[in-house]
């Protein structure tokens, strides 16, 4: 099911638009990319912080308060570089994410962070975990096809109170 931008715009014009577009995005990523666990984060770059606004596993990754951003390879690639970030092994994840052991213990060994880019900056990311080797170049290409929906969902979320807004249903 490729991303239907006309559908994205129809959903964006309806009430509760951020959550509707995000739900469509999740369905599409599940079908086209497959994955094990998805979270989403917003970024407040002037204050160098991020906040989780969605989690498929709220016990492991609870949505909530802001946390400081670290300048590392992830930051350079995604935040400064406006590009996606993906790995295929837990060793690669361990190089950048402090919670790599939790990721491994949850049964995941690969990841992809798909950025929402607006006005030349990253305003959010959809963060996906998968089994070892899952995020191949072909899988990454299918995920990147959903980037317009990612950006629209986060733009809509930013119309709300970014300090508290989430993609979870009200």
Q: Name all domains of the chain by residue range, CATH numbers in brackets.
A: 35-143 (3.30.450.40)
pLDDT digits (tens, 9 = 90+) for 8-30: 999 999 999 999 999 999 999 99
71 Cβ partners below 8 Å, 6+ apart? none
Mean pLDDT of 47-62: 95
pLDDT band at 96 (very low <50, low <70, confident <90, very high): very high
């Amino acid at each position: 099911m490729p991303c239907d931008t006309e559908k994205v715009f129809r959903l964006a014009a309806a009430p509760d638009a951020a959550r509707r577009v995000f739900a469509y995005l999740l369905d599409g990523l599940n079908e086209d990319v497959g994955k094990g666990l998805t979270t989403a984060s917003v970024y407040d770059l002037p204050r160098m912080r991020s906040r989780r606004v969605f989690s498929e596993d709220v016990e492991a990754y609870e949505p909530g308060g802001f946390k400081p951003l670290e300048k590392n390879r992830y930051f350079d690639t995604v935040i400064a570089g406006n590009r996606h970030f993906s790995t295929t092994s837990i060793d690669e994840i361990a190089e950048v994410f402090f919670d790599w052991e939790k990721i491994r213990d949850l049964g995941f060994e690969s990841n992809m962070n798909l950025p929402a880019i607006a006005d030349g900056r990253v305003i959010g990311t959809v963060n996906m975990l998968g089994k070892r080797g899952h995020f191949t170049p072909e899988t990454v290409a299918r995920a990147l096809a959903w980037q317009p929906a990612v950006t629209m969902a986060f733009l809509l979320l930013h119309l709300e109170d970014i300090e508290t807004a989430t993609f979870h249903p009200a």
